[in-house]
Structure formats: C-alpha cells, structure tokens
Amino acid sequence: MESLMDVAGPLGLLVLALIDSTSMGTLVIPVILLVVGEGGARRVAGRTLLFLAVIGVFYLLLGIALLAGLLPLIESFGHLLTSPPVLVVLAAIGALLVIYSFRIDPKAIAKRGGDPEASARKWTARARRASGRPGLLIGLALTAGLIEAASMIPYLAAMGIIAESGAGLATGSLILLAYCAVMIVPGAVLCAVRAALGDRADAFLDRAHDWAVKNATSSFSWVVGIIGVIILLNTIGPALTWLTGGGV
C-alpha cells in the first residue's frame, strides 16, 4: 500500500488545511464575531484575531502532541500497516467513511427531518455572548477547538500524512505550524477587511457568513468521502486478495 504522503503529498496537506479553514471554529465563528462585535472596526477585528490566534495555537499544540505519540508508534509498528488483516480493517474504515459522508451531507440531513444548520445557530448564540469580552473569547476558542477536534477528520488525516512522511518531530512541528497558519488565514483576511472598511464591510461579511454556514457541513462531507475513497482504493485490492485466498 502506498503511504498517504505518496498519495496526497504537500498539495494534499494544503488542500486539507484550506478545508479546515472553513470549519465552524476557523471561519463561521470569526465571521459572526466580526458582524456582531461592537466598539469600532479595529477593536472588533483585533478581538476576532485574538480568537483566531487562540484556536490556531490550540490546534498546533494538539497536533504536536498527536505527532509525538504517532511517530514512535509508526516507527515500531509501521510495518503492520501492510499486513493483510490491517489492510482489511483499513478498507472497512474507508468504506465506512464513504457511507458516513453521505449521511452527513446537508441534503441527507434535511431529508431525515434534521436541520443541517442547527449547529451553526448554536455557535452564533455563543459567539454573540462572548463578543467584546476577551476572556470569554478565549474560552469560546478553546471550547470550539475541543468540540471540533474529535470530528475534524481532515486534520486527523493531515496528522497521519505528516507522521507517515518520515519527518521527525521538529520538522513535523514546522509543517504543523504552516498548516495551522493556513487554517486561520481566511479568517484573518476577513479581519483585515473589517479593520479597513469598517461598517462598509457589513454586506460582504453577511454574505461570507451565509456562505460559510451553508457550505461548512457540505465541504466536510465531501472531504470525509474523499479520504474514505483514497483509503479504500489503496487497501481494497490486497484486502480482497487475502480474504479470498489469492483468488482475486
């Protein structure tokens, strides 16, 4: 089986980082803060940058911790990733990710009677309460990071790619630093727009918020499916060969 780095490469990491940059914590909440904040455009932009900085550092430290745990495991047990039983498990995980991607698609959620934008509305209420209060903004950033971390499959996939690439902890941490910087760039750009244009940016930020809310779940479902397909394509052949005793 090819390594994830062979399949994805640096461009794959960039794409994953850009997808992570559209998440609830890195884009939707910052846009909300820029829209509802009070006290002058530069102050609002500065407080939103504080939120972005906290969530960026959170993911950097989390990634370094994950990388520190993954590197020894891959060094000791990496050869097992090519063993037939493990390939079968990985193929099953890939198939489940593809199935899961269809279940979390906004249209599928709506068809089941759910509300694909319910989570965004909850975060909007939290952001309104925290807006203008630095202590609450820091708490909001950490809460968003903790809640989203477990479901950020693109980020976890990126950790796997970096760990499997052969980069050591120091080099991997630098890659993570660049990854997390890319994650918060779109939000930081919107902060610059707010600071430069003030109230004139309201219409643009409202549209950016609507776009982010509508597309956050959709883009997440797409990337989950793509990651599942990549895993499946790289494991299904050897897995079927082993399961059928070499008959495939």
pLDDT in tens, 109-145: 888 887 777 777 777 788 888 887 888 889 989 988 8
Tell me the residue range of the domain where 9 lies.
4-80+116-215
Distance CA 68, CA 80 (A): 19
Do residues 230 and 94 lie in contact, with contact meaning Cβ atoms separated by under 8 Å? yes
Q: For residues 203 and 245, which has the higher predicted lDDT (pLDDT)?
A: 203
What residue has token string 């599928």? 108
Q: Which of 8-17, 174-183, 237-246 has the highest mean pLDDT?
A: 174-183
Is 224 within a domain?
no
User: Which stretch of 93-97, 139-143, 234-238 has the lowest confidence by average pLDDT?
Assistant: 234-238
Q: What's the pLDDT at 184?
A: 94
Kindly report whether the global pTM for this prediction surpasses the value 0.85.
Answer: no
Domain count, the chain: 1
Look at residue 67 and tell me whether its pLDDT is greater than 90: no
* 107 confidence band (pLDDT: 50, 70, 90): confident
Q: Is residue 103 part of a domain?
A: no
pLDDT at 75 over 90: no
C-alpha to C-alpha distances, 225 to 17, 110, 122, 159, 213, nearest whole angstrom: 16, 19, 26, 18, 20
Domain annotation covers residue 12: yes
pLDDT at 144: 86
pLDDT category of residue 9 using cuts at 50, 70 and 90 = low
Q: What is the pLDDT of residue 216?
A: 67
Query: Is residue 72 in some structural domain?
Result: yes
Report yes or no on 187 lying in a domain: yes
Domain assignment present for 97: no
pLDDT average, residue stretch 142-166: 80
For residue 19, which of 226, 223, 228 has the smallest C-alpha distance? 223
Does 68 reside within a domain?
Answer: yes
Residue 110, domain member (yes or no): no
Q: Is 60 exceeded by the pLDDT of residue 3?
A: no
